[in-house]
Structures are given as C-alpha cells and as structure tokens.
Amino acid sequence: MILLARPLFAAALLIAPFAAPVDAHAESLDLTQASCADFAAMSESDRTQLSLWLAGYFAGNAMRPLLDLEKIVAAPAALGALCDKSPQAPLIGPETRSIFITAP
C-alpha cells in the first residue's frame, strides 16, 4: 500500500467529470444515487477518476489512511465486470466496496 500524495489535486481531478452543465439549481451530485449503469456510460477517463474517488471514499469510511494503488489501478476493470453483471447495483454499496477494501 502506498500513501496517496497530493489529495487536493486528486480531488480536483475527480470533480472535473461532474462539472458538466447541469440544472442551474443543482448544487451537488449525490453519488449514493448513482448506479453501475451510470458507471458503464462513462468514458474510460471518467471511470478511472471515479474509481480513485471511490477508493478514497471507502478508505475514509473504513478509517484507513492508506490507499492500495494496485487495487485502484485494477478497479475500473473490476467495476466494469461488476456493472456488466448488475447494471442497477449502486456505485456506493457493499459490492463496490469489496473491490477497494478487504475485510479486516
């Protein structure tokens, strides 16, 4: 495991795909409502960036300060395989969490 440097830079990269024009009244994006179908519709670059965000999200939830970069690199393909099987699965759920965080 390697500690991810420059977390603010990484966060900025993750925000970019979601900065596309949206309803003028929308102030946030609730990823708890996003599904595997949404992930499947993304470009490869956006999948990679979202995978990095998910890694940080799940690590933070688990109170783990280290990110496993090998898992992060493999995550877009693993998420793609999961999403092919279950397009309606939530992006923030136990199935996707298991891609990033293994049980202690």
Residue-level pLDDT at 27: 61
pTM equals 0.69
Q: How confident is the model at residue 104 (pLDDT cuts 50, 70, 90)?
A: low
Q: What is the tens place of the pLDDT at every residue in 3-58?
A: 444 444 444 444 555 555 444 455 677 888 999 999 999 999 999 999 999 999 99
C-alpha 72/C-alpha 23 separation (Å) is 31
Task: Map out the domains of the chain with their CATH numbers.
Answer: 31-100 (1.10.890.10)
C-alpha 50/C-alpha 14 separation (Å) is 6
Q: Which of 2, 28, 32 is nearest to 15 (CA)?
A: 28
pLDDT at 83 over 90: yes
Residue-level pLDDT at 18: 52
